[in-house]
């Protein structure tokens, strides 16, 4: 996604560095109290009940909307009140009911001061972010806005600099590998990093984020792929099987962050669900809904959908090749691209069988090609990433609205709009109900 940001700002005549702004000082809002005392009853040893006071800080959430309709907000914008206020105004005046805010972006830095000391380095090094993030999230909640925190997972040049032993290596198995943008990646099989990431999820949920969205959940690409080694992943039981290694990470991550005991330092209220744990979502390349391979990055729809509450394919028309689905230039057919891509995704998640192997699949018979039985999921497990940026074409209000309608017509009711500039085509949005 950083590549999109760079391209957009290049088209605008700006450098990527020009988007950075100083970290903003805390801004005070009239918002719900973060900590209160609550009287509770507990069972005693003799079977009676006694009153006790729960003095843990309270985090009040917003329940998951029936339809998530979200805009993306970068770390830089979250720390710029004059800019973020514009996005909040869109959310309060249109159908938008959610915001996706960067927690950890392509740089490896994070957007708010953590309680976890092991993540302090990522805040100290940040050029962007909101020192008042907890207050800001609380303010958004007071407006009824559902808050999703985006975490860039394996792309992380900051952490690979301090922990090169966790990094994807060059073929010499020692030197840290970098893509053509000079960015390095954490090895998918680096298990110590998995626990480090879980700690960030805990800190983020306790800061008030309602959902954690995982991006860059993949092996690297767009670099010297003939000079690369995955020393950690290749030493696991799955070896060079990229989809299996990535699925093993998904399984571990899901189990770890589903444990409510991790978040019990705070009282999580108004979650709208039975447990005090975050909702989760994962972003996938758009072509995972139509391709039956791992795109050389490990991503397979059937091997992702069991582990997250929602999966969001990035079906940006500009990211499809000319001639896709016999459409010529896909930028000229945003409705058709999104409709076909998401309809294919719905068909696959609702199916009871698949040609794709996986940890949750069981092979049926011995026929060739192989067929596997898989769990059946609702189309509500999918969300659509909508393109609202001019890359490859000129996207106006009609195009953006057509993408949204295409998602609906494919059977997917929730969507998130991506504009790397954070400037949105509001004419594509319906008024607030």
**Strands ordered across the beta sheet of 353-354:** 353-354, 372-373, 362-363
Residues β-bridged to residue 309: none
Instruction: Kindly tell me if the per-residue pLDDT of 19 is higher than 80.
Output: no
pLDDT value at residue 37 = 45
Please state the pTM of the whole predicted model.
0.89
Structure tokens at 62: 């917003």
> Distance between CA atoms of 376 and 379, rounded to whole angstroms?
10
CB neighbours of residue 48 within 10 Å: 8
Say if residues 147 and 62 touch (Cβ distance below 8 Å): yes
pLDDT digit string (tens) for 310-342? 999 999 999 999 999 999 999 999 999 999 999
Say if residues 220 and 299 touch (Cβ distance below 8 Å): no
> Distance between CA atoms of 91 and 145, rounded to whole angstroms?
8
pLDDT digit string (tens) for 203-240? 999 999 999 999 999 999 999 999 999 999 999 999 99
> Distance between CA atoms of 297 and 284, rounded to whole angstroms?
10
pLDDT-derived band at 54 (thresholds 50, 70, 90) equals: confident
More confident residue, 111 or 29: 111
DSSP, collapsed to helix, strand or coil, labels residue 306 as helix
> Distance between CA atoms of 358 and 246, rounded to whole angstroms?
11
Instruction: Kindly tell me if the per-residue pLDDT of 20 is higher than 60.
Output: no
pLDDT value at residue 200 = 98
Domains of the chain: 2-32+58-427 (3.20.20.80)
Number of H helices, E strands in the chain: 10, 15
CB neighbours of residue 18 within 10 Å: 10
**DSSP sequence for 20-67:** --PPBPP-------SB--EEEEEE-TTS-EEEEEE-SBEEE--PPPSS
CB neighbours of residue 338 within 10 Å: 30
């Amino acid at each position: 996604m950083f590549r999109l940001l760079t391209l957009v700002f290049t088209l605008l005549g700006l450098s990527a560095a020009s988007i950075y702004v100083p970290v903003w000082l805390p801004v005070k809002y009239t918002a719900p109290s973060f900590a209160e005392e609550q009287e509770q009853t507990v069972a005693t040893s003799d079977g009676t009940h006694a009153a006790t006071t729960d003095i843990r800080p309270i985090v009040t959430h917003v329940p998951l909307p029936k339809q998530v309709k979200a805009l993306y907000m970068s770390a830089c914008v979250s720390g710029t009140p004059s800019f973020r206020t514009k996005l909040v105004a869109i959310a309060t005046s249109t159908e938008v009911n959610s915001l996706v805010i960067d927690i950890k972006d392509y740089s490896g830095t994070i957007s708010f001061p953590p309680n976890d000391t092991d993540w302090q380095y990522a805040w100290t090094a940040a050029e962007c972010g909101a020192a008042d993030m907890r207050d800001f999230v609380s303010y958004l909640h007071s407006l009824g806005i559902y808050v999703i925190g985006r975490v860039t997972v394996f792309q992380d040049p900051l952490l690979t600099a301090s922990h090169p032993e966790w990094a994807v290596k060059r073929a010499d198995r020692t030197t840290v590998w970098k893509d053509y943008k000079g960015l390095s990646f954490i090895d998918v099989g680096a298990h110590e990093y998995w626990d480090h990431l879980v700690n960030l999820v805990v800190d983020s949920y306790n800061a008030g984020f309602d959902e954690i969205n995982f991006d860059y959940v993949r092996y690297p690409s767009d670099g010297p792929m003939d000079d690369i080694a995955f020393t950690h992943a290749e030493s696991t039981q799955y070896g060079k099987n990229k989809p299996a290694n990535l699925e093993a990470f998904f399984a571990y991550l899901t189990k770890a962050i589903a444990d409510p005991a991790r978040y019990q330092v705070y009282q999580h209220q108004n979650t709208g669900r039975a447990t005090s744990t975050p909702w989760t979502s994962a972003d996938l390349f758009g072509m995972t809904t139509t391709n039956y391979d791992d795109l050389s990055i490990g991503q397979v729809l059937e091997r992702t959908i069991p582990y997250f509450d929602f999966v969001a394919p990035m079906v940006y028309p500009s990211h499809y090749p000319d001639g896709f689905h016999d459409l010529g230039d896909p930028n000229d057919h945003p409705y058709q691209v999104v409709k076909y891509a998401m309809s294919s995704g719905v068909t696959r998640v609702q199916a009871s069988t698949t040609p794709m192997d996986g940890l949750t699949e069981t092979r049926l018979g011995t026929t060739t090609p192989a067929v596997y039985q898989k769990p059946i999921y609702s189309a509500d497990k999918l969300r659509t990433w909508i393109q609202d940026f001019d890359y490859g074409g000129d996207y106006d209000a009609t195009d953006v609205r057509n993408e949204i309608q295409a998602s609906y017509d494919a059977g997917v009711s929730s969507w998130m709009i991506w504009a790397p500039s954070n400037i949105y085509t509001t004419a594509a949005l319906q008024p607030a109900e």
